[in-house]
Structure 1
């Protein structure tokens, strides 16, 4: 099994730029991040330091979010947010450049919450336009844009795989075909989606998979989701990418479960 550690939600006892090395020390060869900067267009020194932290740790950056706004404050993306659309577009070339330098080819574009006083259809029209622009921006490096259903935020409109796939189909109709579903099994299950049906219908086309257990969004084995079965079935049906570990640590060793899964023949 190929895992990639989300260093924006794990290893948070360390400064952000020390986390790739900590992931490497824990036995992982790949990491992913939410947007690690405060603005859409950070300074070159900040970008260089981020890239150096990845390189010096000897890990592969497998995923990076576009700027999604103030995540701790409740923002969940700029893609469909009219007042911040320019920020999103300003971010595109920066993200593509980081991808080019690091070899990262998967980029998560959080769709954005519904905004009061703005027509939902108008937000969706903007969302499709901006996702198409994002797809074009990363296509030059062979990149893929990921679109993710999210739980825990009522104002976020994409809560099921079908909702995200509907937007992806609209983007594809514009001629941009490198936007894919990010199947986060925790978010899908928490929102009441039929995860097994999603896997059966779409696993071969998943752009990425992420996991956390539910309830709690903690380590695999702390909840009741059949994550091992879902991952194995996704593999059987053609998903060949890494599995993102995007959960909140609740134990002293947040990766202790990996050896248990390895013993069962489904880890490592």
Structure 2
């Protein structure tokens, strides 16, 4: 198994551009981030500083979220929202700049919460349109757009693997794939073992946290290593994203250092 540290949920006691070095200091060589800027269209200087922090630490960027709005405030994407759609579209070019500078090829496009007063079917049509737009754009860098079921937010409509796969089928692009976050799927009551058996070879990415709590592996009751091993047996060849909340001083104590790089 190869691991990548989600440095937007971990190592948050440091500024964003100091986290790649913290990832390296912990013995890892890969990192992924949610959108690391305040706006969907950061300046070239801001992008250069972020890329420089990765280069300086010798850390490969393996995954990046498209702009998803105010995540701490409860937003979970803007691509399905008529009033925010232009923000998502404007974000595509900065994502491509980072992709070309880093070699990153996986891009998580959070779907967006339902908006009171808006027609859900209209939101879904807009989402498909914007996902196609994103997929066509990142194809230029051999990139993949990821669609993720999410827990903890009632207004977010994609809760199971089946929900996300139905959207992916409508988008109808070979480079749009399921992000299988085992924590979110389990928290939403999905049959994760069945999802692995049926779809592991098609996963675009795997992320993990234990449940309950969304903390380090071993703090809950999910058979994470079993699911990962079975996914790899069935054809998954990607890295495993460590996307959990630290509950102890060393959030990586569960993983021997020789297994981190």
Q: TM-score band, normalised by the shorter chain? A: over 0.9
Cα distance change of structure 1 residues 144 and 75 upon mapping to structure 2, 3 Å threshold = same
Cα distance change of structure 1 residues 260 and 28 upon mapping to structure 2, 3 Å threshold = closer
Match of 1:201 in 2: 198
Q: Does 1:210 align with 2:188?
A: no
Match of 2:245 in 1: 248
Corresponding pairs, count: 261
Cα distance change of structure 1 residues 108 and 37 upon mapping to structure 2, 3 Å threshold = same
**1:143-202 alpha-carbon deviations (Å, 9 max, x no partner):** 000000000000000000000000000000xxx221000000000000000000000010
Q: Does 1:239 align with 2:236?
A: yes
Q: Does 1:220 align with 2:217?
A: yes
1: distance between equivalents of 2:229 and 2:257? 15
Note the residue ranges of structure 1 that are not aligned, 5 or more in a row: none
Shift of 1:261: 10
Shift of 1:233: 0.3
2: distance between equivalents of 1:72 and 1:13? 15
Contact 1:208 1:241 in 2 (8 A): yes
Please give the root-mean-square deviation of Cα atoms over the aligned residues, in Å: 1.2
Match of 1:156 in 2: 156
2: distance between equivalents of 1:226 and 1:53? 35
Q: Is the partner of 1:258 in helix, strand or coil?
A: coil
2: distance between equivalents of 1:212 and 1:25? 21
2: distance between equivalents of 1:72 and 1:260? 31
The 5 A counterparts of 1:1-268 are 1-172=1-172, 176-259=173-256
Q: Is the partner of 2:256 in helix, strand or coil?
A: helix
1: distance between equivalents of 2:225 and 2:2? 13
Note the residue ranges of structure 2 that are not aligned, 5 or more in a row: none
Shift of 1:235: 0.5
Q: Is the partner of 2:153 in helix, strand or coil?
A: coil
1: distance between equivalents of 2:27 and 2:9? 17
1: distance between equivalents of 2:227 and 2:79? 29
Q: Is the partner of 1:4 in helix, strand or coil?
A: strand
Cα distance change of structure 1 residues 93 and 259 upon mapping to structure 2, 3 Å threshold = same
Q: Is the partner of 1:64 in helix, strand or coil?
A: strand
Contact 2:27 2:257 in 1 (8 A): no
User: Normalised by the size of structure 2, how large is the TM-score?
Assistant: 0.98
Shift of 1:44: 1.0
2: distance between equivalents of 1:157 and 1:79? 13
| Higher relative contact order, structure no. (Cα contacts within 8 Å, ≥ 6 residues apart) | 2
Shift of 1:260: 9.4
User: Normalised by the size of structure 1, how large is the TM-score?
Assistant: 0.96
Shift of 1:229: 0.3
